[in-house]
Chain A
Amino acid sequence: MTGEGASELLRVEDLKVYFPIKSGLVIDRHVGDVKAVDGVTFDITKGETLGLVGESGCGKTTVGRTILRLYDPTEGRIIFEGDDIARLAQREMRKLRGRMQMVFQDPYSSLNPRQNVGNLIAEPLKIHGIASGDDARRRAEELLDIVGLPKASTARYPHEFSGGQRQRIGLARALALNPDLIVADEPVSALDVSIQAQMVNLLEELQEEFDLTYLFIAHDLAVVRHISDRIAVMYLGRIVEVASADELYASPRHPYTIALLSAVPIPDPEIESSRERILLKGDLPSPANPPPGCRFHTRCPFRQPERCDTEVPELRLLSDGHLAACHYAEEIKAGKITMHDSGEVPAHSA
């Protein structure tokens, strides 16, 4: 779904990130792996916002951090502006850091409490030899202005600011090196509702102004739909569906996406009391021990006796342009398969 002449900024191919589980008395032995990311493929076009959604344990944060090589991939390729950086030495990686940056979720732990804001923002400039001393400070002030904070903030310390303000400081730091790609890992989840909207607007303005590309990782579907061009849905380490933001909501193709959308509460009492909700049973399986075949089959309201528990579904292109990883996506859409009894719960009047 790339436009005419638009180039691909980032492509991730079959990315796997396994974290070893070690156990032992004196010496640790490798007894298993947490398969946080287990074969993820997607691409992002320059100037686009790709939303990455999923619930806890789905691996979306790991994907974001691995793209930036903060974690090392176990397998797979990460092609950034044409070069595979998956196995690049950290020393080489440092030179690329300027082109991809990250905004973190928790405004209370993502800023060094012992650095003042000016140093915090100017640090990337100093390290990469772009500016130093007064020049660096001036640039820091410029960046603060861009994110809507007073210039005098440079002398202050992170704990003197509110959560929303701290997120902006983090954003200013991310912009310092003029990156092409910004991975925003839950940038608004920890903020109050009224501040979230400010932050989202700010992100969109900055994207316009600086021609940024975003990988927007979040679990709040409504926010992701608002800001993203396309959305990828993850479950237990794999992508289960990719579609444009409007399409994903209007006609979700993967059972997990359907269930996820049905679970999101809508601020409208009339709709809430009349809608039919799909309640998934049970809990998320452990990423250390994922179910065989389709990872979602243990909770899927559309599960079929064949293929679902034995064959891993490929992420494939469907007729309406969605990518979905479900053996029976066409049958579900055509109405040939319906939900089991256990899947659905009738509406309640509030």
Chain B
Amino acid sequence: MALLSVKDLSVKFVTRKATVRAVNGISFDLEAGGTLGIVGESGCGKSVSSLAMLGILPKPAGRVMRGEVNFDGVDLLKIPDSQLRQVRGKDIAMIFQDPMTSLNPVLTIGRQITESLRKHLDMSKDDAKKESISLLGRVGIPAAEDRIKDFPHQFSGGMRQRVMIAMAISCRPKILIADEPTTALDVTIQAQILDLLKHLVAEENMALILITHDLGVVAGTCERTNVMYAGRFVESATTSSLFARPRHPYTLGLLKSVPRLDAARKEKLEPIGGTPLSMTQDIEGCAFAPRCIYATDKSREETPELARIDSDDHLVACWNPVPDEDLPHVEVVATQAEGRTAR
């Protein structure tokens, strides 16, 4: 049985002005130690879905309309908040894009980590302190014994993100949800953080859900990737399948519109036409149809569901998946390995 099994999760936001269907029925399974990437642009619902899973949607506007989030056999959406609080932070942990808003600016880092440890694992004060020093060391913060006395603002952006990760893994969670963890970081720092996450996944057998808009990030970090558009998964596959054979026109469009550092320079980029969807209107048929070069009448009338294509573990929600001749062929100019000096 999968560690986490989400079925048909749907979330809406109700405000005075409009109702927004942020998530429109997503389903996925996550095995222990597996890595899943959820890729999409802003407004597609990727962050909202993880907030819904942990029961931390902004209230009262955010509401789960239907669905199941089965973790270790228990549906998280159906248990009372007191039980959910045992899971949150302990079995399933989350880190966010901006560590500054998730860390309490008036408490020392040491205090914040030990608080979590003592609450969830019932540790003594001394044990908790030792453990937090050890945790900071594991995430690569030098001079940890001194730094636990520091406040969040005394850390740089990359260090703060590491602190967040330390706090998140302190209780040895089975799943770590990382919502755009490196978007606000410089690219060299991003590389460090992603590397750290990969290490932790391997060492702790911790499952990872990585939410991002950056295709390069999932390419290097996740075994499986789901592409999200307008609140639904439009494609789900192993990462290598997804990039080699992007069958959904949106996935193809994303790949083609991003300039690749290692490919020959194109004359013009190929953007996806049109503008991203406004989520307040009811969508008839495929949400991507207005921007899709393969759209047919059926696309505009009937909403496609995820169905198998190419292989058992490659799913796509499309009436007119990308044909073979249109799959991308990248002319690689030079790989990094060649560009560098040999050892």
Q: Are A249 and B222 in contact (CB under 8 A)?
A: no
Q: Are A271 and B335 in contact (CB under 8 A)?
A: yes
The yes or no answer to A272 lying at the interface (CB within 8 A) is yes
**Contact residue among A222, A259, A265, A268 (Cβ-Cβ distance under 8 Å from B243):** A268
Q: Are A350 and B187 in contact (CB under 8 A)?
A: no
Give the docked Cα–Cα distance between A196 and B256 (Å). Answer: 12
Q: Smallest CB-CB separation from A200: which chain B residue?
A: B269
Q: Mark A270-293, 1 if CB is under 8 A from B, else 0.
A: 111111111110111000000000
Once A222-B259, A222-B261, A339-B343 are accepted as A-B contacts, the answer to whether A193 and B269 lie under 8 Å apart by CB is no
The yes or no answer to A146 lying at the interface (CB within 8 A) is no
Contacts of A258 in B (CB 8 A): 339-340
**A residues 334-350 with Cβ under 8 Å of B?**
335, 338-339, 344-345, 348, 350
Once A275-B335, A284-B156, A350-B220 are accepted as A-B contacts, the answer to whether A194 and B255 lie under 8 Å apart by CB is no
Give the docked Cα–Cα distance between A250 and B336 (Å). Answer: 9
Q: Are A333 and B341 in contact (CB under 8 A)?
A: yes
**Contact residue among B215, B254, B269 (Cβ-Cβ distance under 8 Å from A226):** B269
Q: Are B339 and A263 in contact (CB under 8 A)?
A: no
Q: Smallest CB-CB separation from B250: which chain A residue?
A: A194
Q: Are A335 and B341 in contact (CB under 8 A)?
A: yes
The yes or no answer to A155 lying at the interface (CB within 8 A) is no
**How far apart are B272's CB and chain A's nearest CB, in angstroms?**
4
**How far apart are B222's CB and chain A's nearest CB, in angstroms?**
6
**B residues 189-242 with Cβ under 8 Å of A?**
189-192, 194-195, 198, 202, 213-217, 219-223, 239-240
Q: Are B336 and A276 in contact (CB under 8 A)?
A: yes
Once A194-B41, A194-B276, A269-B243 are accepted as A-B contacts, the answer to whether A263 and B335 lie under 8 Å apart by CB is no
Contacts of B213 in A (CB 8 A): 192-193
**How far apart are A259's CB and chain B's nearest CB, in angstroms?**
6
**How far apart are B255's CB and chain A's nearest CB, in angstroms?**
6
The yes or no answer to B333 lying at the interface (CB within 8 A) is yes
Q: Are A249 and B240 in contact (CB under 8 A)?
A: no
**How far apart are A300's CB and chain B's nearest CB, in angstroms?**
12
**B residues 145-182 with Cβ under 8 Å of A?**
156-159
The yes or no answer to B257 lying at the interface (CB within 8 A) is yes
**B residues 244-268 with Cβ under 8 Å of A?**
253-255, 257-262, 265-266, 268
The yes or no answer to B82 lying at the interface (CB within 8 A) is no
Give the docked Cα–Cα distance between A23 and B220 (Å). Answer: 46
Q: Are A221 and B159 in contact (CB under 8 A)?
A: no
Q: Smallest CB-CB separation from A338: which chain B residue?
A: B343
**How far apart are B1's CB and chain A's nearest CB, in angstroms?**
24
**How far apart are B334's CB and chain A's nearest CB, in angstroms?**
6
Contacts of B258 in A (CB 8 A): 193, 196-197, 222, 267
The yes or no answer to A245 lying at the interface (CB within 8 A) is yes
Contacts of A280 in B (CB 8 A): 188, 192
Contacts of A279 in B (CB 8 A): 188, 191-192, 195
**How far apart are B336's CB and chain A's nearest CB, in angstroms?**
5
**How far apart are A34's CB and chain B's nearest CB, in angstroms?**
15
The yes or no answer to A266 lying at the interface (CB within 8 A) is yes
Give the docked Cα–Cα distance between A221 and B191 (Å). Answer: 14
Give the docked Cα–Cα distance between A261 and B333 (Å). Answer: 14
**How far apart are B41's CB and chain A's nearest CB, in angstroms?**
4
Q: Are A350 and B271 in contact (CB under 8 A)?
A: no
The yes or no answer to B342 lying at the interface (CB within 8 A) is yes
Contacts of A198 in B (CB 8 A): 271
Give the docked Cα–Cα distance between A269 and B159 (Å). Answer: 27
The yes or no answer to A252 lying at the interface (CB within 8 A) is yes
- 8 CB-based A-B contacts, threshold 8 Å: A201-B269, A259-B188, A264-B187, A266-B261, A267-B215, A269-B220, A338-B341, A344-B343
Q: Which residues from chain B sit less than 8 Å from chain A, CB to CB?
A: 35, 41-42, 142, 156-159, 186-192, 194-195, 198, 202, 213-217, 219-223, 239-240, 243, 253-255, 257-262, 265-266, 268-272, 275-276, 330, 332-337, 339-343
Q: Which 6 A-B pairs have the closest CB atoms?
A: A265-B216, A197-B271, A272-B220, A55-B186, A197-B257, A267-B215
* Additional A-B contacts beyond A222-B260, A265-B219 (18; CB < 8 A): A192-B41, A193-B254, A200-B259, A201-B269, A226-B259, A246-B265, A265-B194, A265-B214, A265-B220, A266-B261, A269-B220, A271-B332, A271-B335, A275-B336, A276-B337, A283-B156, A338-B343, A339-B343
